[in-house]
Amino acid sequence: MTQYGVPSADASNTGWTTADLFSKVDDIPVVDTDYIISTGSGSSCKLGTLKTTAGGALVDPVASGNHVIHVRAKRVSTAGTLVVALLEGATQRCTTTLTLTTSLADYTYTLSAGEANAITDYTNLYITLTGGVSGTKYEYVTDISLYIPETATLVIADLAQAQPLDVISTMTQIHALVVQDMAQSSPMDAITTMTQLHALAVADFVQAQIFDEPVLTYLALLEIQDMAQVQVLDEPVLTYLTTLVIDDLTQAQVLDELIIAISITLVIDDLTQLQALDDVGITQIHALSVQDIAQIQALDAPSLTGIMALAIDDLTQIQTMDDVAITRLLTLVIEDLQQSQTLDDMSLTGILALTIEDLVQSQALDHIVWITPLDLMVQDLTQASFIENLTITTVEGNLFDLVFDGINNGINELG
């Protein structure tokens, strides 16, 4: 695939006609009846910045090949030349001199690897045209464009014992990103943005100390797996995902402050012996499954909204799962919360079906507000110390179905 950069404005003009110049030379495919004309030697114009034909920003292709300037032009009668230059801001990145004929023709200039690699900001590119003959109205130009490739594949592999892979500011429009076999790496942090990726797989991050603060958007598939003994995987923002799978995060110290929005499917499983999975914001997900989270110290302060199906099971020996806000869910299932110390301060609203079961030996299940559930079932709450300050209401004051099952062995209070 190719990105086509065309002028989006007249930055400066001396001796070319007729303004607006950029609108006469920005057609893909080329229209020969739309053109600009120089008025003599030294006529010069600067057009840009270059944008896609849809008006969007050009994206760094993370490659130096296939950078091509295309010009379609002719001269009227006498011999003449046209000097074409590519600028990044005010800095010239390349220049070429075209010897024109009296017939419209296509001229191309391919940037060298060094010229292409010198470009640091693809959103700040301009093309200049300078006439090279005397007299009046000698050069006609019908098209100016820059062809650059889209990013296809980025592979970072076998970075064993690498200490830093950080301060990567932007990775955009990447078809496939694979990062693997990064054993014993110290930091992989401060990755600010990875956007419009068709597939992202991060695997075999063994004993990595830091993998934090990524922003991942417009992903078709994201898989993070086999991250054993990771110390930190925190503060990621994951949006517009078709599928998100995070599994096999064993003995990780921190997986916190996640923001996961507009996902079709989200699965987080096999998170064993985690110290913290907290401050989670999960919104507008068709399906959310969190399972096999054993021996986690904290799963608290999550905000779960707009989810069609939520299943949280096998949360054994959790010390805290509190301050949960769960709203607008079609289905909510929380089961097998054995030996939990706290499951409190929950706010559950707008839920079609709610099932909380098998909360064995919980110390506290309190301060819960349930609003507008069509179907509510709380069962097998054995040996719980507290079920208190419980409020269950609907907008119309009519609870369709309420079942409390198997509540025994020392419930202190139900109110």
Write the CATH number for 65: 2.60.120.260
Q: What is the pLDDT, as a whole number, of residue 349? A: 78
Cis peptide before 49 (omega within 30 of 0): yes
Q: Give the residues across from 180 on adjacent strands.
A: 157, 203
Q: What is the pLDDT, as a whole number, of residue 166? A: 58
Whether 326 maps to a domain, the answer reads yes
H runs (alpha helix) in 65-190? 113-117
Each of the 415 residues of the chain gets a pLDDT tens digit; together they read 688 999 999 999 999 999 999 999 998 888 899 999 998 777 999 999 999 888 888 888 777 888 999 999 998 877 678 999 999 999 999 999 999 998 999 999 999 989 998 998 999 999 999 987 655 557 899 999 999 987 656 566 665 555 555 555 566 666 667 766 666 565 555 556 677 677 777 666 666 666 666 677 777 777 766 666 667 666 777 777 777 777 766 666 776 677 777 778 888 777 766 777 777 788 877 888 877 776 677 777 778 887 888 887 777 666 777 777 878 778 778 776 666 666 677 777 777 777 777 666 566 666 677 776 767 776 666 555 666 666 666 544 444 455 555 444 433 333 3
CA proximity to 373, closest of 325, 330, 338 = 330
Q: What is the pLDDT, as a whole number, of residue 395? A: 45
Q: How large is the C-alpha radius of gyration of the chain?
A: 31
Q: Do 185 and 145 have their domain in common?
A: no
Q: What is the pLDDT, as a whole number, of residue 47? A: 98
CA–CA distance, 335 with 28 (Å, rounded to integer): 58
Domain endpoint, select from 124, 149, 174: 149
Q: What is the pLDDT, as a whole number, of residue 258? A: 75
Q: What is the pLDDT, as a whole number, of residue 10? A: 97
Domain that holds residue 38: 2-149
Whether 412 maps to a domain, the answer reads no
One-letter amino acid for residue 352 of the chain: L
Whether 414 maps to a domain, the answer reads no
Whether 248 maps to a domain, the answer reads yes
Q: What is the value of pTM for the model shown?
A: 0.53
Whether 413 maps to a domain, the answer reads no
Whether 259 maps to a domain, the answer reads yes
CA proximity to 291, closest of 269, 319, 272, 307 = 269
CA proximity to 230, closest of 185, 192, 269, 165 = 185
Q: Do 214 and 254 have their domain in common?
A: yes
Q: Are 411 and 390 in contact (CB under 8 A)?
A: no
Domain endpoint, select from 123, 149, 175: 149
Q: Are 189 and 169 in contact (CB under 8 A)?
A: no
Whether 389 maps to a domain, the answer reads yes
Q: Do 83 and 164 have their domain in common?
A: no
Domain endpoint, select from 91, 117, 149: 149
Q: Do 105 and 200 have their domain in common?
A: no
Q: Do 268 and 227 have their domain in common?
A: yes
| Count of domains for the chain | 2
Q: Do 179 and 60 have their domain in common?
A: no
Q: Do 209 and 104 have their domain in common?
A: no
CA proximity to 322, closest of 300, 304, 341, 340 = 300
Tell me how far apart the 2 most distant CA atoms of the chain are, in Å.
103
Q: Do 142 and 203 have their domain in common?
A: no
